[in-house]
Every structure is written in structure tokens, then in C-alpha cells.
């Protein structure tokens, strides 16, 4: 089993991912920071993560980092672990590839992996889980937010973080290992829109097809009119009715 996590609790910070990235040289491997609220919580691609008090906002630091090809799979693994916690609480949840958790068609959690090489090679992954209430999202484009409290009494953020870290260490005890290779089948069984038609946007490219699952590399398998394609990244949404 890996060593202990060093915990930092902040009342407020811009973004827990940025807190770790800005303090890289003074922070040790396996530091985890949780903030009661974030004032500039981040999503992917410059998007915002609404972070009022009452949710879980936390990030972990790994130095040295896992390999770049494993980095996005860590996000998928954490999404699956959060999904498992919701399912155990009796809440119908699924994993939205590549980094979200959905409950009753609402987004309840999102994961943000980041990595770099300056000033030392590093890997930071942040997780945001709506516990007490679903925030309102200005100019929302995507699924509505959902919160744990809508389905069941939510856990205490620290207790939930403890469990998530424990499960992460159990599932991925060594950062040189692939985080999801032996979990792909399980994730496929909990995949949002499985067997249904979706659109996947990647930059300028749009693919439409039926979600078939994920493979051992964490790629989305999409059955399209011109055959099966394997996607490393992208933005998934239901096909709009035509
Ligand atoms: C994500 O991005 O889902 C990654 C979110 C990661 C948040 C954590 S919190 C701790 C750590 N510190 C940070 O600064 N970030 C991480 P993405 O897939 O790009 O989704 C962002 C989109 O989700 C936004 O554009 C909104 O539409 C929606 N959204 C924003 N806040 C939300 C919330 N609290 N609940 C549900 N949906 C939200």
C-alpha cells in the first residue's frame, strides 16, 4: 500500500488544482488539499466549476507523476470510484466518459487532471462533487447539475474524501501501473449512454455513433456508420432529436 496522504484544509482558495501547482516546490508527493469553497474553480478547456460551500472540492499531487498516457485514465478511475460511492448509497449513478459522474441525468461530479514538467514533473487531479446542493450554472450548456442531497443524506466532505483516497490507493497501488486496465469491463457496465446514440465533439471533429463501452486504455468505443472508432478524448452528448 502506498504511504499516507498529507492533508491540507483551506477555508477558501481560487482552485485547489492551482493551489498545488503554485506550491509545487514546497509540497511533497501525495499532498491532498480540500477547500470549503473555491472562488475560481476550474473545469476542462477553460470552463468554470461552480464551488459554493457544501460540496467536496479537493486535489491530489503526485510527484513524480504517472506517465502522460495514464493521466486521463486516473480521472476515469476517480469518476468510477465516486460513481461506486453513489451506487453504494442507493443512488442511480453512472460514469460519463471521460471524467464526469451523472446521477439521474444531472452532473454530480467532475474530475480535472493536469500534468506538466516545470519546475519538476508533476501530476495534479482535482475532484468536485456536489453534496449539499446543486449550484446554478450561468449560461449552462450541458447536463444540469445534480447534488447528493437530492437523493439521500450527503456524506461529510472529509469522510467522503477519506474513502475516495482509500479506494484510489486500493485500485491503483502503484503509479507505474495502468489505473484502469482491469476495470474497463466494470466501467462499461456503468457507462452513461451505453448502447445509445451520442455525438462526440473533439475540436473541429464531430462523430456520431452508438456507445459500446470503453477499452482497457480508457478509450471510448463508438460504433459509427463507417465502423468502430476508439476515442481518446472528446465531449459526449445525446444526439439531438432530428
Ligand atoms: C469538469 O470539467 O467537470 C471538471 C471539474 C473539476 C472540478 C474540481 S473541484 C477541485 C478541483 N479544483 C478545480 O479548480 N477544479 C477541480 P468540465 O467537464 O469542463 O465541466 C465543466 C462544466 O460543468 C461547466 O461548463 C458547467 O456547464 C458545468 N458545471 C460547473 N460547475 C458545476 C457543478 N458544480 N456541478 C455540475 N456541473 C457544473
Contact 73, 80 (CB under 8 A): no
**Local confidence band at 91 (pLDDT 50, 70, 90 cut-offs):** very high
Q: In a mutational test of the pocket of ligand 1, which residue from 49, 98, 139 has the highest number of ligand atoms less than 8 Å from its CB?
A: 49
pLDDT per residue as tens digits for the range 182-236: 899 999 999 999 999 999 999 899 999 999 999 999 999 999 999 999 999 999 9
Residue 132: partners with Cβ closer than 8 Å, 6 or more residues away: 53, 54, 55, 147, 148, 149, 154
**Which residues' Cβ are closer than 6 Å to ligand 1?**
15-17, 38, 41-45, 47-50, 57-59, 99-100, 107, 110-112, 126-128, 130, 135, 137, 140-142, 145
Does residue 174 register a pLDDT over 90? yes
Between 68-88 and 157-171, two packed helices, what is the crossing angle to 10 degrees?
A: 130
Give the three-class secondary structure for 75. helix
Q: What distance in Å separates the CA atoms of residue 62 and residue 21, rounded to the nearest whole number? A: 11
Amino acid at each position: 500500500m502506498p504511504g499516507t496522504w498529507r492533508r491540507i484544509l483551506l477555508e477558501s482558495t481560487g482552485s485547489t488544482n492551482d493551489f498545488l501547482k503554485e506550491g509545487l516546490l514546497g509540497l511533497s508527493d501525495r499532498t491532498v488539499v480540500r477547500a470549503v469553497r473555491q472562488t475560481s474553480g476550474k473545469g476542462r478547456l477553460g470552463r468554470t466549476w461552480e464551488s459554493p460551500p457544501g460540496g467536496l472540492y479537493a486535489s491530489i499531487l503526485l510527484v513524480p507523476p504517472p506517465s502522460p498516457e495514464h493521466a486521463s485514465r486516473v480521472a476515469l478511475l476517480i469518476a468510477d470510484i465516486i460513481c461506486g460511492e453513489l451506487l453504494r448509497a442507493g443512488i442511480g449513478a453512472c460514469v460519463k466518459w471521460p471524467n464526469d459522474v451523472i446521477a439521474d441525468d444531472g452532473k454530480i461530479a467532475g474530475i480535472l487532471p493536469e500534468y506538466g514538467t516545470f519546475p519538476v514533473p508533476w501530476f495534479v487531479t482535482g475532484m468536485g462533487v456536489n453534496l449539499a446542493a446543486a449550484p446554478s450554472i450561468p449560461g449552462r450548456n450541458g447536463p444540469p447539475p445534480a447534488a447528493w442531497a437530492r437523493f439521500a443524506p450527503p456524506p461529510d466532505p472529509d469522510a467522503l474524501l477519506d474513502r475516495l483516497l482509500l479506494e484510489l490507493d486500493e485500485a491503483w497501488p502503484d503509479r507505474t501501473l495502468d489505473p484502469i486496465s482491469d476495470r474497463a469491463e466494470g466501467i462499461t457496465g456503468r457507462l452513461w449512454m451505453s448502447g445509445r446514440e451520442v455525438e462526440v465533439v473533439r475540436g473541429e471533429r464531430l462523430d456520431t455513433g452508438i456507445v459500446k463501452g470503453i477499452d482497457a486504455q480508457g478509450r471510448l468505443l463508438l460504433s459509427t456508420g463507417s465502423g468502430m472508432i476508439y476515442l481518446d478524448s472528446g465531449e459526449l452528448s445525446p444526439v439531438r432529436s432530428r
